[in-house]
Amino acid sequence: MPDTAVPPERGTILVADDEPNIVTLLTGWIETIGCAVVPASNGEEAIEQARKHRPDVILMDAMMPRMSGFEACAQIKKDPELKDIPILFLTVRNEIQDVVHGLELGAHGYIIKPFKPQELLARLRSVLRIKRLQDGLRCRTRELQREWDWTRTVLQQLPVPVLVLDGQGRAVYWNCAGIEAIGYSPAELADSRGEVLSIRGEGAGDLWDSGTSRDGRFEVRTRNGSWLPARILARPLDGPEGGGKSLVFVLDQ
């Protein structure tokens, strides 16, 4: 019997198998760890139930009538709303070509019949833990994206010209006022490698020293050759390509 001393997992598991006794057996095992079970008897029904209940994990027989588990897996992985649900195949077929086929379709693994409750529940717990970590990461990513979208919208509305360069002199952010003040197009700034924006003033050559932070008043050359006063904040920052210096330009109008 399953180890009931293990803390309950909670969650919803879709069990798809054309043999009712298998579904009943698995339901009993899974309920001992605190999870609810949604049954299905073929691939088509599995897809319908997945769309209706959004299970945390799908346990699915590979070979079923009307639609096989392989076909159902392929359709689930193509559905943007379902594609992140882990799928474990239940099968008596352990030929390598079947295993490879299922994994290529996006399944997380196989459990070969006849299986023991301890093995199945251990695999299920492991997949549930990974799923929750991934769900948390996706949720945090969405939150960060919303925060960045909001920040970017605010910066774009500011009347103060702002530009940001990375440690290689590439422009990585600018607002509309910054583009208007400097005169370069977004494409010219994005393709730059430090050749576009020239800086002059005392200590300008030290701005790219990645080990220090500096603030100061300098001048930045615009596209028409004139020089604009600017406050530059230089900070060592970790960017998408590793550590380096970022320069934040706030231009005087």
- Say whether 100 sits in a helix, a strand or coil: helix
Do the Cβ atoms of 57 and 85 come closer than 8 Å?
yes
Question: Between 74 and 190, where is the model more confident?
Answer: 74
Share of the chain above pLDDT 70, in %: 86
Residue 137, pLDDT score: 93
Is 158-251 a CATH 3.30.450.20 domain?
Answer: yes
Do the Cβ atoms of 103 and 88 come closer than 8 Å?
no
Distance CA 130, CA 124 (A): 10
For residue range 128-178, list pLDDT tens digits in order.
999 999 999 999 999 999 998 998 898 888 888 888 887 777 788 888 888
Mean pLDDT over 52-78 rounds to 93
Radius of gyration of the chain (CA): 28
pLDDT band of 121, cuts 50, 70, 90: very high
For residue range 12-23, list pLDDT tens digits in order.
999 999 999 999
User: Given a cut of 80, is residue 93 above it in pLDDT?
Assistant: no
Question: Which CATH architecture does the domain made up of 12-140 adopt?
Answer: 3-Layer(aba) Sandwich (3.40)
Residues of each domain in the chain carrying CATH 3.30.450.20: 158-251
Residues of each domain in the chain carrying CATH 3.40.50.2300: 12-140
pLDDT band of 4, cuts 50, 70, 90: very low
User: Given a cut of 90, is residue 9 above it in pLDDT?
Assistant: no
Q: Which amino acid is at 192?
A: S
Q: How buried is 197 (Cβ within 10 angstroms: 0-12 exposed, 13-18 middle, 19+ buried)? A: buried
Mean pLDDT over 188-216 rounds to 75
| pTM for the structure as a whole | 0.65
